[in-house]
Amino acid sequence: MSTQNLNARPRRNRKSSVIRNLCRETRLVTESLIYPVFIHDKEKDESIESMPGCTRWSLNGLLHEISESCELGIGAIALFPAIDGNLKSPDAEESFNDNGLIPKTIRAIKDSFPELAVITDVALDPYNSDGHDGLVDPSGKVLNDETVAILIQQALCHARAGADIVAPSDMMDGRVGAIRRELDSNDFTDISILSYSAKYASGYYGPFRGALNSEPKSGDKKTYQMDPANAKEALREVMLDIEEGADMVMVKPAGPYLDVLANISTNVKVPVAAYQVSGEYLMIESASTAGWIDRKAVVMESLTGIHRAGASAILTYYAKSVAEWLK
């Protein structure tokens, strides 16, 4: 048998599980996971047709789910509300109702789980009868500055209820700075801002919109969410948000935009989050249900890839399952 005269044999670092663990560059940990949860103002939990395996939680159901999540070591959740159609309006006034679904839920969570980090979505699409992230004028144009004025009130409402982090996901220009100024001037200097800085006008959001019944009634979101073809623009958006006071920034979706995520992570000094969105989730679920892929293996590989690309925090509907597997 002939033997090559090789100084370097990389396979030596892969010859056993112990050696592979010693040489591993990226380690996915439960502490890096954020668990997105859907809530509604009903007494019973509901399965979500567009996202099999996910649930719209009642308050009691949510508190039980959080209890199990905390036992697994998950330290942060992100709340997404399914708002009753009767409460939706063109001015999205329900978005800053101090007695609304989100503030009520925050207070209940903090009463039972004070150490849990509660992240709230700041955007108008769950509350807007037009289904857009911003106010819409009669011509169909999504208004920027008028929307920011409402987002400020929404962020303050969440802060008053006890949110730890507000996360503007609307992609309006200047909203991070406006929210930061208002939070600070109202003595909420400790409230963090996690900005959806590079949020793309993606086809991967469909199942999520089904979960919240928040599909735009007309038009699309391409005038405010980013063009999927653009990467340099993402860095510009991120830098602007950091200048305005963002404590953390986010790339959404995660999987199709690993190049964007890696570039941002290399060029900024703040934590970078990434959102493994509903379409990514549903593709994995559909393929694994059909027996075409190994669900656990693909979930872990996809999240490791997101982490490897530079995400220090990952929003994923698999957070609870991954925490169980890691434990």
Q: Could you give the domains of the chain?
A: 26-326 (3.20.20.70)
Give catalytic status of residue 44 as yes or no. no
pLDDT per residue over 220-232, tens digit each? 999 999 999 999 9
C-alpha to C-alpha distance for 85 and 120, rounded to whole angstroms? 20
86 three-state secondary structure: helix
Active-site choice (252, 269, 296, 320): 252
Amino acid letter, residue 157: C
**Residue 210 pLDDT level (bands cut at 50, 70, 90):** confident
Q: What percent of the chain has pLDDT over 70?
A: 100
Angle at 234 between CA 221 and CA 34, to 5 degrees: 80
Active-site residue, 269 included: no
pLDDT at position 208 is: 84
**Mean pLDDT in residue range 199-215:** 87
CA angle 185, 186, 192 (to 5 degrees): 90
pLDDT at position 214 over 90? no
Positive or negative CA dihedral for 247, 248, 249, 252?
Answer: negative
Catalytically annotated residue among 88, 199, 221, 320: 199
Strand partners, 118: 77
Give the global pTM: 0.95
